[in-house]
Structure 1
């Protein structure tokens, strides 16, 4: 159990250790200096610790240290240390599942005060870790603000083998599993939200901010204050200002680094008394792509400062004002994760938690996790949009996105995801390497990944191979692997995947913004190909070279072995403690456009 140095006597640490030991685990506390952690040194320590035996699991409580990292004010020591821990585990070749534990970081209902929204960044990071490290990742568990032996016992139960959930919140009232669910349109139609006074828009000269400004001007906003790092020198800023003025709005465009608290304070002080600040819309953000293995405090700081740190300053500096709206533009990378976007997902997950934190204190807030917008935003280029469509994510028309924003403000929502999703295609891609209970309510049954309980009798590929002459089996396997890759990548058919080409070149228009980027052969949905060792996956780089490996691995994982594993898992579940009060936690998402317009409530941890 990895804990921040100096917190060995923390009540949560002690109660957790006692519970794990009471449930038969050999729990070893392992303290690291979260503020001065070194990846290489940590790897050496892990090598020494695991010289004689490998751990069955790794539990991280590093999130408990939420103090800013020295020299990186936007990055908590806990997030930086968690990143280094996962990197070091990978470097050391430790395959034990990593579970990251937070405390008071997610909301299960309006009764949750969410005292530590900063720790929620671990949840965004973890959702990407599940995609980039599907074999090593265990899951995320949030503890109540006050731990008891009873709630600690629930934690120990969740960590036992055979538990399917990987995003869970423990409370005194029960154990809550996170779920994404559609929310139907509200029956009531309250008076629509209308702008008044001054509305402050961060990232106001960017694609999303400019569209929001135009919408507000058309709705009669008296005054708009648009801020960005370049301000009036930003491309198109002068024309945008003229357009807003022509619509009858008093528009001001200012250069301001909103991650600089004092600069932001001075800007807010310039708001005139005759048009007091009544609304804040935070669209600013920066995305830098990179695998978790490439992250360091500097890269985390670069992404988190304009999104998360700026949101903190906006909250702190306006919480005593009489606001009617406090809007945070989040991303679906925070909702379900996206490959190479761990820092971006962490930043946006914090926005969702901050909205819940404000609501629990009676302050206005809504965080909207957007899918790609069609004409503007970070995913507006045709190359990226085409790639996302193959994954099942279609671009949102701007007018639909703006209408969804207005709907959320009018209906006083707290959080939600707004995206146009083909769930069957998205589900196949997203669960190619790891199942996702989180998406279970939205995925068609045909898109759900096969489980490891399959036997030879119910496996069509095994039956086909058994019936075929030995000389033809290699070609059957090659064709099957081509079909799997084509399905995962969204190609029209197996022939789009060349038989001898490396797996990295299989996407006809490769993009790093995939939610399930291919850097090694994907986890096959077929039971007969799923149990490959990591060594086999590294060596097998094309359909032609996968086929002989799959035959060998298929022999290693004979059906009776799989059935035995299932029996052991069933036994573990029977003898483990039940999950009292497990409830589905309503996440937020929307399926819109060609699959029907709708909105999903984003109170992401609802019973």
Structure 2
């Protein structure tokens, strides 16, 4: 994953702000970014764009395709028209088929399409979008069965692109979806590419909120589909065995204990969570050690955040963890404040 040249294809040109951003990226990573105007839903336009990319890339060959086009155009089935369906299907269905056609014969390392969790669980008013992403998932399976590169990533709402528009954010939150940050998207994408996995889902879901939405009568079919997941909801109560890697972490009970007991429980919990990620942290580890000194990279830190959220239902902000000087003590103090409404921790 270290392309010297990255080419983008879009129907619209880029503005001056994006040009400055691209220039900064080129300087920072020592790469070349080529911006080509083209339409993936128009085969001739795409062929011309690919030809221009090849010309501007010199002797370098095209090694990967990342198809991220998509259109959100929500309508209930009772109100939908054929044109409404076409608007949504074309970028993903026609676009992916055209990309398959123009790269036929190329030795690709990657052919990655951005699908959506919508193809798995569905969202009211987004049946066309769900169908478009279902096509992507099956199309990639078809490619892989023929020995071709192919990965479909089913994304939840992202804090980039069309999903980050204000009109969508509140709606996502009401349905139990939190937006994945840019840092989280980067980590998830890297993990998927390294594993060469497909039909993998990356989403930040508030299961409690989502389960409430699925309790209304009109969502009965979806509720049945999701029942297995809802039955496996993680509670805040864990069991503890001194001879195993698990222990009890009952937030409700701990709120009635002293600050010392709460801090001690949080210390054991944080070290336990870190051990699940690295396998190298034990109860004797100093809480003042820097996370970077333990070899925690961005992917490991994201995993740690997820582990903490599984146990506590509180998600540590990625921005908080991005500070390279963070220690376990910092994390314990943050959790003490957020979980027990204590600003000051016990030394």
Which bracket does the TM-score occupy, shorter chain normalised? 0.5 to 0.7
Instruction: Look up the match of 1:245.
Output: 26
Report the CA distance between 1:244 and its aligned residue.
2.9
Kept after mapping to 2: 8 A contact 1:427/1:443: yes
Kept after mapping to 1: 8 A contact 2:9/2:49: no
Cα 1:320–1:250 shift into 2, 3 Å: same
Report the CA distance between 1:387 and its aligned residue.
3.0
Residues of 1 paired with 2:194 and 2:232: CA distance?
35
**1:380-391 to 2 correspondences below 5 Å:** 380-391=164-175
Higher relative contact order structure (alpha carbons within 8 Å, sequence separation ≥ 6): 1
Cα 1:245–1:444 shift into 2, 3 Å: same
Cα 1:338–1:401 shift into 2, 3 Å: same
Q: Deviations over 1:211-259 (max 9, x none)?
A: xxxxxxxxxx200111111123x47332233123223211111111111
Kept after mapping to 2: 8 A contact 1:337/1:345: yes
Instruction: Look up the match of 1:439.
Output: 226
Q: 1:329 aligns with which of 105, 108, 114?
A: 114
Report the CA distance between 1:343 and its aligned residue.
1.3
Kept after mapping to 1: 8 A contact 2:37/2:49: no
Secondary structure of 2:212 counterpart: helix
**2:193 is equivalent to residue 412 of structure 1:** no
**2:49 is equivalent to residue 262 of structure 1:** no
Secondary structure of 1:236 counterpart: helix
Moved over 3 A (4+): 234-237, 444-447, 590-594
Report the CA distance between 1:425 and its aligned residue.
2.3
Secondary structure of 1:441 counterpart: helix
Instruction: Look up the match of 2:148.
Output: 363
Secondary structure of 1:258 counterpart: coil
Report the CA distance between 1:394 and its aligned residue.
1.2
Instruction: Look up the match of 2:79.
Output: 294
Q: 1:308 aligns with which of 93, 101, 122?
A: 93
Residues of 2 paired with 1:446 and 1:335: CA distance?
18
Report the CA distance between 1:363 and its aligned residue.
0.9
Q: Deviations over 1:545-573 (max 9, x none)?
A: xxxxxxxxxxxxxxxxxxxxxxxxxxxxx
Kept after mapping to 2: 8 A contact 1:229/1:255: yes
Report the more deviating stretch, 273-282 or 241-250: 241-250
Report the CA distance between 1:384 and its aligned residue.
2.8
Kept after mapping to 2: 8 A contact 1:330/1:348: yes
Q: 2:8 aligns with which of 204, 226, 245?
A: 226
Residues of 1 paired with 2:60 and 2:111: CA distance?
17
**1:128-139 to 2 correspondences below 5 Å:** none
Larger relative helix fraction: 2
Residues of 2 paired with 1:592 and 1:293: CA distance?
39
Secondary structure of 2:115 counterpart: strand
Kept after mapping to 2: 8 A contact 1:285/1:303: yes
**1:78-227 to 2 correspondences below 5 Å:** 194-195=1-2, 221-227=3-9
Kept after mapping to 2: 8 A contact 1:257/1:263: yes
Secondary structure of 1:226 counterpart: strand
Kept after mapping to 2: 8 A contact 1:325/1:364: yes
**2:309 is equivalent to residue 595 of structure 1:** yes
Report the CA distance between 1:353 and its aligned residue.
0.9
Kept after mapping to 2: 8 A contact 1:228/1:254: yes
Report the CA distance between 1:441 and its aligned residue.
2.7
Kept after mapping to 2: 8 A contact 1:231/1:256: no
Q: Deviations over 1:134-162 (max 9, x none)?
A: xxxxxxxxxxxxxxxxxxxxxxxxxxxxx
Q: CA RMSD in A?
A: 2.5
Query: Any gaps of 5 or more consecutive residues in structure 2?
Result: 235-302, 312-347
Q: 1:401 aligns with which of 185, 196, 221?
A: 185
| Structure (1 or 2) with the larger CA radius of gyration | 1
- Scaled by the length of structure 2, what TM-score is found? 0.62
Instruction: Look up the match of 2:127.
Output: 342
**1:562-573 to 2 correspondences below 5 Å:** none
Residues of 1 paired with 2:17 and 2:308: CA distance?
32
Residues of 1 paired with 2:143 and 2:306: CA distance?
28
Q: Deviations over 1:27-80 (max 9, x none)?
A: xxxxxxxxxxxxxxxxxxxxxxxxxxxxxxxxxxxxxxxxxxxxxxxxxxxxxx
Residues of 2 paired with 1:284 and 1:242: CA distance?
23
Report the CA distance between 1:381 and its aligned residue.
3.3
Query: Any gaps of 5 or more consecutive residues in structure 1?
Result: 1-193, 196-220, 448-589, 598-607
Residues of 1 paired with 2:48 and 2:79: CA distance?
36
Larger relative strand fraction: 1
Residues of 2 paired with 1:324 and 1:445: CA distance?
36
- Scaled by the length of structure 1, what TM-score is found? 0.37
Report the CA distance between 1:323 and its aligned residue.
0.5
Secondary structure of 2:163 counterpart: coil
